Amino acid sequence: MFRARPKRARRSRYNVTYRLTRSVPAALIAVVLIAVVVGATLTYKRIDDFMTAATGHHLNPIGEVVQAVEPAQGTIAYKLKHGQQVNVLMLGMGGYENDAPYLTDSIMAVTIDPTTNRVMMASIPRDLVVHMNLQRFRTPTSSAASRRSTRGRTAVAMRQSTRSAK
């Protein structure tokens, strides 16, 4: 029996053009990208040469960032970085659920010593009795009450002193 040979499929010219249409734009984009990088590098080099001639210092973007990140002198971060002791007064509010939401209900004094790696916290009671000299009044008052009524008592004392002066 004689078998007929199958015909070979003819190669399409479409594949070649299809490949060219995909690779040529990619090659052009690669060339443009390389040209942009080279141009930016040369521009940076010219600016750096100009700055060196004008100021005597090279441009150092990483050094500029490090200087910008360095904490300012006198801040807590600066003091901790340089091993200085830091004192912080922490005040807490009760919030909107309390009868007096904006009054201080907790007071803490915190000392941080980075050289010895110690933290000291002292809590000051809100109702600590403090003897206060509010002009003529000398009554023991709690610290919370004194914060609430200092203005009122001073105003009353001032009114009384002005009436007695007349």
Residue 91 lies in a domain: yes
Residue 59 lies in a domain: yes
User: pLDDT value at position 33?
Assistant: 95
User: pLDDT value at position 162?
Assistant: 42
User: pLDDT value at position 116?
Assistant: 92
pLDDT tens string for the chain (166 positions)?
567 666 776 665 556 666 666 777 788 888 999 999 999 999 988 988 888 888 887 777 777 676 667 787 888 888 888 899 999 999 988 888 888 888 888 899 999 999 999 999 999 887 777 777 776 655 555 555 555 544 444 444 444 444 444 4
Residue 136 lies in a domain: yes
Query: Quick one: 21 and 59 in the same domain?
Result: yes
Residue 119 lies in a domain: yes
Residue 7 lies in a domain: no
Ranges of H-type helices in the chain: 14-55, 61-69, 76-81, 143-165
User: pLDDT value at position 21?
Assistant: 66
User: pLDDT value at position 54?
Assistant: 86
User: pLDDT value at position 13?
Assistant: 54
User: pLDDT value at position 9?
Assistant: 67
Question: What's the domain range around 36?
Answer: 14-67
- Per the listing, tokens 């009868």 go with 99
| Total number of domains in the chain | 3
User: pLDDT value at position 78?
Assistant: 87
Q: What angle do CA 90, 82, 120 make, to 5 degrees?
A: 35
Residue 26 lies in a domain: yes
User: pLDDT value at position 141?
Assistant: 54
One-character DSSP codes across 118-137: EEEEEEEPTT-EEEEEETTE
